[in-house]
Amino acid sequence: MSKLKNILFMGGQQAGNLALATLRAIGHRPDVIAYSQLDNATMLNVYDSIKGLSSYNYDLLVCVHGREIVPESILKKLKFGGINLHPCLSKYPGADPIGRYLADGGHTATVGAHYMTGEVDKGPVICEFNVETNGCKTREEVYEKLYPYSEICIKKGQSYMKKALEDILDIIYLDWTTGSPPNAGTIKAIECIVREQLREEVK
């Protein structure tokens, strides 16, 4: 398991449910801020708002389809801050990214992760992957293209993807504890391996 042991998860919808399942698959039992029914939150502590917690004694916040803006004051209380997973991160930060992507006639969406700051979706990007969405005309159709990537994380949770996710978390851990930036070569290597794995799995 990653050195980041005490994780707070914040999210909802199908993507949030899949991400929570992935965290559980690699050995974490996070406390959960849920914005919709999360089937994978059984046997976990579940809350309805991050602002109402009595304590913020967590190593890291992981956000997937969160519905609250997390203030800088709360992020600073978390040992290593937070990371957020966001569709179309670079081009469409903020609300309704897929709606804006469709309005612009997009054909290649992305799934990205970034460090959280006081500014919404403006923190340093950890990684971002392209997903072709040719023929998709609705939000639901685009998200259906994106969901298999989370599914792969779950299916590979005990083998390849387990190691990739642990490595990413360890990079974050080293980044914050040593004061050094993540090793770009290591991140690139993980990204290349993940891309190859996804290419094989979605054929």
State the CATH class of domain 7-201: alpha beta
Ramachandran assignment for 179, one of left (phi > 0), alpha (psi -120 to 50 degrees), beta (any other):
left
Q: Is the pLDDT of residue 200 over 50?
A: no
Q: How confident is the model at residue 103 (pLDDT cuts 50, 70, 90)?
A: very high
Structure tokens at 151: 């599914």
> Is 124 or 3 the better-scoring residue by pLDDT?
124
What's the CA gap between 61 and 81, in Å, rounded?
6
Count CA atoms closer than 13 A to 151's CA, side-chain side: 9
In this structure, the number of other CB atoms found within 10 A of the CB of residue 139 comes to 15
Average pLDDT over residues 30-50: 89
Closest by CA position to 35, among listed 6, 62, 75, 64: 64
Between CA 29 and CA 9 the distance in angstroms is 9
108-115 and 125-132 as β-strands: parallel, antiparallel, unpaired? antiparallel
pLDDT at 85: 84
Helices (H) and strands (E) in the chain, counts: 6, 7
Collapsing DSSP states into helix, strand and coil, what is residue 46? strand
Its sign, for the CA torsion 202, 37, 28, 125, is positive
Structure confidence by residue, pLDDT tens digits, 52-92: 899 999 988 888 888 899 999 999 998 878 888 888 888 99
Whether residue 110 is predicted with pLDDT greater than 60 in this model: the reply is yes
| Phi-psi group of 36: left, alpha or beta (phi > 0 → left; psi -120 to 50 → alpha; rest → beta) | beta
Average pLDDT over residues 20-32: 84
Whether the model pTM is above 0.95: no
Contact 148, 111 (CB under 8 A): no
Average model confidence (pLDDT) across the chain: 76
pLDDT confidence of 203, banded at 50, 70, 90? very low
Band (196; pLDDT cuts 50, 70, 90): low
The pLDDT of residue 157: 30
At 134-173, the pLDDT tens digits run: 999 999 899 888 876 654 433 333 233 344 455 556 655 5
| Secondary structure class of 49 (helix, strand, coil) | coil
